[in-house]
Structures are given as C-alpha cells and as structure tokens.
Structure 1
Amino acid sequence: MSRLFLLLILLTGFVPLSKLQANQPAEVADRFHASILMYHHISSRTPPSTSTSPQRFREHLDLLERDGFQVWPLDRVVQHLQRRRPMPDRVAVITFDDGYISVYENALPLLKERGLPFTIFVNAQPINERHPLHMSWAQLKEAKEAGGIIANHTLTHPHMIRKEEGETDEQWLERLTHEIVENQREIEKHLGETPRYLAYPYGEYTPEIQELVRRLGYVGFGQQSGPASPFTGMTAIPRYAANGIFSNPTTLRTKLHAVPFPLLSEEPVSTVLAGRERRPTLTLTLAPGDYRLRQLACYGPDAQVLPVRTRTLENGNVVVTVNSDRDLSTGRPRYNCTAPHATENRFFWFSRQWLLPHPDGTWYDF
C-alpha cells in the first residue's frame, strides 16, 4: 500500500476496495467489533461540515445493504461489547447527534421504510425551548416508536472539558453531573426509560469525565474514528463521522470494513494538551495481530505524514510511537493510524483526537 494511496484516504476520502466484492456474503467469524456511524443534519440546506444530504444518506443505506451489513440497534452492540461476545463481521449502527428536525423530516422516513434501528442523542434544553432546528418531544416519541433509541447528549451541549471562571474541580464535576443526570431525567419524563448512553458534545472528554460517566453508570461515545470494540473501552467508544467531507460513500465503505488494532494501552491517557505543548507524542502498545507492521502509517491534520517508530518486545507486543514534527493548530486535531490487513483487503484503524487550547491557555471558540 503506497503512502500516496493512504494520503488519498485522508485528503479526499477516496479508497477503492476493488478486491472486496459487494455481493460477497458476510462472514460470521469470532470478531468483536462494529462500525458506528455518526450523523448530524440530514439536509442540503444546513452547514456543510455537519450535514449529509438526503440523497447521500440514501446512498449510505444502499451501501450497507449492498455490502451485506447488518444494522443493529446500539444497545445490542453495547451488550456484545460488554460481554465480549462475538458479532458477525459486518455490523453497523446508525446514530444522530443533537436531534435536528432534518433527521425527522428526511432520515426517519427512509429508516422506517427499511425497518432499520437507529439512535438519536439529544439535548433537552433546545427541545424544551422549542428551537425550530430541533425535533419536538412528540416527534422524538414517533422516532422511538419507529425503532429508535433516544439517548443522552447532555442538557445544554457544553464543552465539557472547560471549567468556568473561578470554578473548582468539584464544582466543575457537579455541573457536569447535572448536565447528564438532568438531561436523562427530561428524556425519561417525556419518552420513558432509555439506556444510559452518553455522546460527548464535540467528542470532548478527559479521564476525569470518563470516570464520572463510569461512576454514573453510563456508556460514553466519542467522535474519534475507528471500529467500536472491547479494545476501546466503554467510556469513549469511537464512531465514524458520515457528514461533510466524510460522507463520501467510497471512503465510508473503507471505514465500514476496517477492523480495530489490538490495542493494549495508549499514552498519554488524556487527550487534553496542557500549557504550550503543540507536538504531542502518542505511544500505543499493540498485541500481535494480522496488521502489516511495516506498512503502519500515521497522519496528522491535512494528511501530514507523522514520524512513526515501532519496537517489538520479547513477548511479541509492539510499541508504536508517533509524534508531530510541526506544531498542531488549536482545536481538535487528530492522529489517524492505519495498517493493511495481512490476508484481507481491509485496514486496521485507530484515531486519537487531541484537544488544544490557544498558547495563552484560552479555549477555541467553536
């Protein structure tokens, strides 16, 4: 696999799977992963970066059907991950963040027509305030009756990693607890019992937030890309963005067929970079697997090729060290690592989202 070819994945989303025929039957093997898709708006009239057109969304559903994917409800996948039960090789989950009205108008009819399950992560405040861009409780009830899970996205959609001025650590965690617990209470007041699933707003979390989520009894979902698997833990399950530049069906197909690296550990544990650190080093420890180690490559923002060093330990585990040779920009940049499968026409996939404040310590505005 050439370096140029992998760059195309990140820059344009173009990755042909020429050897993987769409009509091949899905193998049922002892695999423990699923591909969770994340959408926001399903519209051609909303911000492009967070939107998927209705036509493109239909193409995605056609792709899932054509490639033999089983679309499972999120709770079924979570139960399999928690119990480490094998799943069929091709399992996908459809999720929507924010509960936008375009999901009700443009996605729900297609999902109902095909009998597909889905999950909508919602914030109660804009619903209670009857914001025109958001679904109402009555519309969410209709979505639930059509096979949807309505789950938690916090009450007001805050940047959870940010402390307010003068706020202590204890006060910060109390505020986040209120965001989660009160939102769950609102959902259950209007729609009945629902699983304790939390999608982090903006995909932002810290080890302290993950511990809070675990202590409150929730399963957490991020916005970093990669297959959902036991290797990723239950407080930061990855999802593949399927909106904006990531809605290209060819790119999506490659990601849907990707498998997780057998990840044993990743350092640093926190994704938040402190002080003036702009060139973070990521260290991954991998168990032996079917990945082609010599072709493991990692990329930064704008498909920047990152320096990668690998070291095989006596027990067969592999230590992968990745860093950037130039400063990362403020915001939520990522390191994406891939490696071809040794015997199948697919990739292993891992992504780390970093959270970088401005050099003066203030946070970005988006």
Structure 2
Amino acid sequence: MLEYLTMLLKKLLPLLLILGSLTALAKADEQETPVAYYHASVLMYHHISTSTPPSTSTSPADFIQHLDMLEKDGFEVWPIDRVARQIKRRRPMPDKVAVITFDDGYISVYKEALPILKERELPFTIFVNADPINEKRPLYMSWAELKEAQEAGGIIANHTLSHTHLIRKLDDETEEAWLKRVEHEIAANQQEIIKHLGSAPKIFAYPYGEYNPEIQKLVQKMGYIAFGQHSGAASPYTNITSLPRYAANGTSANPTSLRTKLHALPFPVVNEEPVTAVLDGSNRRPSLKLTVMPGEYRIKQFRCYGPNAELLQVSRKTLADGNLEINVTSDKDLHTGRPRYNCTAPHKTQNRYFWFTRQWLMPQANGDWYNY
C-alpha cells in the first residue's frame, strides 16, 4: 500500500505544482490590480422616446448609438445583481463593465428598448412602482409586459410603491411614523413585484435619487443594495446603499460626453463630510470635505465644478496617514432642487478620468420643499 501511495504521489506532484502556481499567479494579479479598477459604469434611462419630456428621455437612435458604443469600446454588459455581488464582496471585475437600467417602467421601454435588447441578448434592469401599474396608467408597462421583459433576461426591481419623495416628512409626521411609511413604500412594492412576477432581488433605486443617512440605515436593515442618481462609477469605494449611476437621458444622452463617463474611474474616497446631502435651505453654499487615498490620478489637476459648470474653490493637504484631505467650496448660491458638485482628475498614464459627484438636496430658503 505504501509503495502504491508513493507512486500515486509522484504522478500527482507535477499537477499539484501547476495548480499551486496558477493559484499564486491569480492571487498576485488580484493584489496588483488597484481596487479602484473593481468598478462598473451603471447607465440610467427613463423614457426611450422622442415624444416624452426631453429631460428624462433618450431617443431610440441615441439608445442604439449607446449600445453600439459599448460594443465598440469593448464593454461587457452585466446583470445588475452580478455587479452588486462583486462590489459587496469587494471582488474584482473586468475594467470595462456596464449595466443598463431603466427607472419607472415606462411603456416606451417596452416598445422601443426591449426589442433591441432582446435582439442583442443584453441583460437589463427595470425599476418599477406598483401603484401606476395597478392603476393601468397609459404611460407605464403592464405586469404582463414586465413579465415579457423578465423572460427576455430583464431584472424587475424595486423603486417604491408610489414614487414618492422619501426624504420629505408629512405635516406633523413623527420620525417613527415617517420611517414606517418609507419602509411600507419599499416592502409593499416588493410584495407586489413578487406577486405578479414571481421573484424580485433585494435591489432598490431611490425615487429622484433622494435619500439621507436614516433611509440608508433602513434600506440596509431591510437587506437591500441601493442605487441613486448621482454620477460616478459603482465600486467598493461607494456605499452599498447609495451606488451611483450615470444618467443617459436628456443632455446626458450625448454620446461623446457619455463615453468619457463610461471610461471614468472612481476616486478612492474613504470619507466625505457632511454625511448627509440634505440641506436645510439656510446655507446655500455648502462645503464638501473628502478624504481620498493616493491613486493613479493627477492631483494637481483635480477640479470640481458647480451645477452651471462653474469652477469651484478647492484646497488640499496631505494627512499623517498619507491620505489627502480635499475641501470644496462655492462662492455662488446653489439653486433649489438637486444641484451637484462634480469633481474630476485625469489619470496619470491613461486617457481617462477619475470621477466623483456629490448631489445636494436643497429646499427653498425657508426650508420648505416643493415638487421640482
């Protein structure tokens, strides 16, 4: 028996050495790849039409051009749940990964986008609200049409029951009652999707991209991964309850500017202040402080821009741990609504940018909200 085992070991030894070498090479490659490259560019669409509101619409011709660009530039289009798992587990992804998402479940997505996606066999996600579907509003897909989209490889995910502004409390509403209402908006919508379509992942998109730390904690407690509407690449540096997406509608549908965003990398931001993006209306020139790890970006060319593309004031200093502290301020009042600070810096050796966006939620000067 001993002689047999010795002979077997001699035969297996070369194979074991090869497997060990391959494992070591894979680990080394994983360690050498910067975590900033573990990212995906998530595209956000609404209407695919030329007869709907321009700010939330993408023409069918532009949509086809976007898909052609993804193919030409060598992007892999992944299902959203696969990307979410990789980010949550901090696992590597190829450098060029894109995700296609649609908010609200408009009928134009069924009529215009679905046939194209089916023909190209591309995965996609539609974030839906059950109320307008159940009310059979003409601009929205039906459950039968959503089932067809699901069978074509689409993921149907949660966008709240009624598409409400989650951050806004009702008159005389307590903190506890407000959070219960938010929880109901998410949980009841999930039940409706499962009831009509059989399944739904724990993936969520905030209506209007509006959230605050309290809602993020609730979403995490409910077991969801969540997406906003602020720009940037989704990566391990972005909070799993506020992953960014690039708008691909309205003026953002321009293929040239969209290509720049698709190839952008996430800044390795490890802290940002203030934690909440919700402002009270009294300070209309908010400051933003970022703590950023060293990376392959040209820090001297770090720039931030306001909502009207105006150049913001930036100061930076190196901290004792080697990280950078970057302070961003504006000398102009922000408008009411969802204004943004967009920050970029070019890559040291590649023709691409690092990208970070902070979307603010600004009420009127007296603190009141209105539907914008």
* TM-score after normalising by structure 1: 0.92
Q: Classify 1:209/1:160 alpha carbon distance in 2 versus 1 (closer, same or farther; 3 Å).
A: same
Task: Give the alignment of 1:181-330 within 5 angstroms.
Answer: 181-330=187-336
Q: 1:34 aligns with which of 25, 30, 40?
A: 40
Name the SS of the counterpart of 2:237 in structure 1: helix
- Cα distance, 1:29 vs structure 2: 5.5
Q: Which residue of 1 aligns with 2:15?
A: none
Letter in 1 for 2:323: N
Matched, 1:338 2:344: yes
Identify the residue that residue 360 of structure 1 maps to in structure 2.
Answer: 366
- 1:170 matched to 2:176: yes
Tell me, in whole angstroms, the C-alpha distance in 2 between the residues paired with 1:95 and 1:327: 33
Separation (CA, whole Å) in 1 of partners of 2:297 and 2:103: 32
AA of the residue aligned to 1:60: H
What is the alpha-carbon distance in structure 1 between the residues aligned to residue 178 and residue 321 of structure 2? 42
Find the aligned partners of 1:331 and 1:174 in 2 and give their Cα distance: 25
Which string of whole-angstrom CA distances, capped at 9 and with x for unpartnered residues, describes residues 178-233 of structure 1? Answer: 10000000000000121111100000000000001001111110000000001011
SS in 2 for 1:93: strand
How many pairs are equivalent?
A: 339
In the aligned structure 2, how far is the partner of 1:255 from the partner of 1:358?
Answer: 31
Q: In the alignment, what sits opposite 1:138?
A: 144
- 159, 164, 180: which one aligns with 1:153: 159
Q: Distance in 2 between matches of 1:220 and 1:87?
A: 19
Look up the SS of the partner of 1:62 in the other structure. helix
Match of 2:3 in 1: none
Q: Which has the higher helix share?
A: 2
2:102 pairs with one of 91, 96, 99 = 96
State the alpha-carbon separation in 2 of the partners of residues 201 and 259 from structure 1.
25
Aligned to 2:215, what secondary structure does the other structure show? helix
SS in 2 for 1:357: coil
Q: 2:88 aligns with which of 72, 82, 87?
A: 82
Partner SS, residue 362 of structure 2:
coil
Matched residue type, 1:71: V
Larger mean Cα displacement after TM superposition, 142-151 or 189-198: 189-198
SS at match of 1:326: coil
What SS does the corresponding residue of 1:303 show, helix, strand or coil? coil
Structure 1: 4+ residue segments shifted above 6 A: none
Q: What is the distance in 2 between the residues matched to 1:90 and 1:220?
A: 21
Alpha carbons 2:281, 2:362 under 8 Å: kept: no
Counterpart Cα distance in 1 of 2:67 and 2:221: 36
1:224-264 alpha-carbon deviations (Å, 9 max, x no partner) = 00000010110000000000000000111000000000111
* Alpha-carbon distance, 1:363 to partner: 0.5
What is the letter of the counterpart of residue 321 of structure 1?
N
Gaps in structure 1 of 5+ consecutive residues: 1-27
- Which has the higher Rg, Structure 1 or Structure 2? 2
Q: CA deviation at 1:365?
A: 1.9
Which residue of the partner structure matches residue 20 of structure 1?
A: none
Q: Deviations over 1:107-147 (max 9, x none)?
A: 00000000000000000000000000000000000000000
Return the offset for 1:364: 2.7
Distance 1:208 1:337 in 2: 26
**Identical counterparts, % of pairs:** 66
- Rounded to whole Å, the distance in 2 between the matches of 1:364 and 1:344 is 44
Q: What do residues 62-96 of structure 1 show as CA deviations (whole Å, max 9, x unaligned)? A: 00000000000001100110111100000000000
